Structure 1
Amino acid sequence: MTPETRRLRQTSRTLATLILAGAATALPLAAQAQPAPLAAGGWSLRLGAGAAVGPAYPGSETTQVSPFPLVDLAYRPALPLLDTVFLNPRDGLGVVAFRQGPFSIGGSIGYAPGRDQDVAARLQGMGDIEGAARAKLFLRGDFGRFGLSLEAARALGDQEGTTLTIGASMRQPVGPRLMLLGRVEASWADEESMQQWFGVTSRQASRSRFAAYNAEAGFRSVQGSLTAIYSLSDRWSLNGTAGVAQLLGDAADSPITESKTQPFGLVGVTYRF
Structure 2
Amino acid sequence: MTNSQPSATEDPHAALVALNARVDELVETAGADRWNTGTPAEGWDVAMQIAHLAWTDEVSLTAIRDAGAFQAVVEKAMEDPTGFVDVGAAEIAATGREEVLARWRLARGELGDALKAADPGEKIPWFGPPMRPGSMAAARIMETWAHGFDVADGLGVSVSSDPAFVGALPHVAKLGFKTRAFSYAMNGLEAPTSEIHVALTRDDGTVIEFGPADAQQRVTGPLLDFCLLVTQRIHRDDTALEAQGEDASHWLDIAQAFAGVAGDGREKGTRA
More helix by share: 2
Q: Which TM-score applies when normalising by structure 2?
A: 0.28
Task: Tell which structure's C-alpha radius of gyration is larger.
Answer: 1
More strand by share: 1
